[in-house]
Structure 1
Amino acid sequence: MLHEELMEIRDPVLRKVQDHPFWSGLRDGSLPGEALAYFVQQDTGFLLPAYARALARCAAAAPEDADAFLLGQSVAGTLEAKDRLRQAYTGLAGELGLPELGEQIPVDPATHAHASFFAAATARSYYAGIGALLPMVWFNAEVSDNLKLNAAPGSRYLPWIEVYHPGESYGYAVRAFLDMIDRAGESCSAAERRLIVEQFSTSVRYEWAFAECCLRQPSWPV
């Protein structure tokens, strides 16, 4: 199964992502509130909208109706998650002593690169697209589960961790993505299979880079 090959690529990066000070700081409560505010601004303002549009392009190119349906559903789910997370942060900011979001800040170069990668991969081909898109849904499931299971008792971020988790039903979406990848791996050419792996290998590194940019939250000149 292709997803088993991809899991070997994923696992060492996933461990580094989960151990990153951004995510470990959420678990133990030590993350500066400014870093979480930056994450929400970058994620809901730029990355999730870019991901949704990339999913839509992949849905249009999908060779099977079932895969087009899955990807189309994921477009709606991603845009709903964007609004839900921003509203949740706004509702919790006062309770948790977090900065208000205010006006939308400029896109971080790392976020811009991540979003541009999604656009380029899905414009290249369906197979490049699904390889590039899989890490976000897979890492989101693993990271949010890890947060919920391993958050320190009394962490200031427990309410945020609860609302950040996409819910138990999200596991079905991840399994559907993996089934789609496996079917593609069985039906595509050797070159297309290599392309899926290549794009996946690049995409997993962006998962770490996004956490890093949110932790350092640079102030960019206007």
Structure 2
Amino acid sequence: MLQEELKELAAPALEKVKAHPFWSGLRDGSLPPESLAHFVRQDTAYLLPFYARALARTAAAARTDDYMALLGRSITGTLEARDRLREAYGELCGELGAPELGPDGMPDPATHAHCAFFQAASARSFAAGFGALLPMVWFNHQVSDDLLKRHTPGSRYARWIEVYHPGEGYGYAVKAFLGAADRLGKELGDAERAELVKHFSVSTRYEWAFAEAAWSRPSWPF
């Protein structure tokens, strides 16, 4: 099954993401609050909206209506998650000792590249778009579950981790995406299948890069 091939391909990146200082700092409470603010601002102002638009473009190129329906539901879910996280951060930032989000400003260089990748992949083909979109669904599920299971009880970000988790129902969406990957693995020709896998592989690296940018908080020097 294609999902097993993709999971094996993603495993090294997923382990590096879970071990990254951004996520480990959330688990044990040592993360600088400015890094969390940077993450939430970049995620809600730029990455999630661009992801939703890439879902829409990929859905428009879908091979059949069931793929279009899956991606279409995810558009709404992505934008609702954006609003929920932004609202939750606004309510909790004082308790966390974290700065308010303030104006969105500009996307940092890593976020800009991540968004451009989603845009380019979804414009290239259905296979490329689906491959590029899948890691964000899969990694979010794995990372948020890991945070919930392994965080230090009572630590600084324990309440945020509970809010950040998308809920039990999210697992069904992940299973639907992975099931779609298996169907595509049987339906696509060799070239299209290779394109899906290639974009999936690149996208897993952007998941690490986004955590790294939240940790280091880069900005434009002018």
Which band: TM-score by shorter chain?
Answer: over 0.9
Amino acid at match of 2:71: L
1:172 aligns with 2:172: yes
Equivalent runs, 1:1-222 vs 2, <5 Å? 1-222=1-222
Contact residue 13 and residue 208 of structure 1 kept, 8 A: yes
Q: State the Cα distance separating 1:220 from its structure 2 match.
A: 2.9
Amino acid at match of 1:192: E
Encode CA deviations 1:130-172: one digit per residue, 9 max, x unaligned.
Answer: 0000000000000000000000122110110001000000000
Contact residue 3 and residue 182 of structure 2 kept, 8 A: yes
Contact residue 108 and residue 219 of structure 2 kept, 8 A: no
Q: State the Cα distance separating 1:63 from its structure 2 match.
A: 1.0
Separation (CA, whole Å) in 1 of partners of 2:179 and 2:98: 39
Q: State the Cα distance separating 1:105 from its structure 2 match.
A: 2.5
Query: Which runs of no fewer than 5 residues in structure 2 stay unpaired?
Result: none
Q: State the Cα distance separating 1:77 from its structure 2 match.
A: 0.4
State the SS of the aligned residue for 1:55. helix
Q: State the Cα distance separating 1:14 from its structure 2 match.
A: 0.3
Separation (CA, whole Å) in 2 of partners of 1:24 and 1:187: 39
Separation (CA, whole Å) in 2 of partners of 1:60 and 1:219: 34
State the SS of the aligned residue for 1:31. coil
TM-score by length of 1: 0.98
Q: State the Cα distance separating 1:219 from its structure 2 match.
A: 4.0
Contact residue 42 and residue 111 of structure 1 kept, 8 A: yes
- Cα RMSD (Å) of the superposition? 0.8
Amino acid at match of 2:128: A
Amino acid at match of 2:196: I
Separation (CA, whole Å) in 1 of partners of 2:127 and 2:90: 38
Contact residue 41 and residue 105 of structure 1 kept, 8 A: no
Amino acid at match of 1:179: G
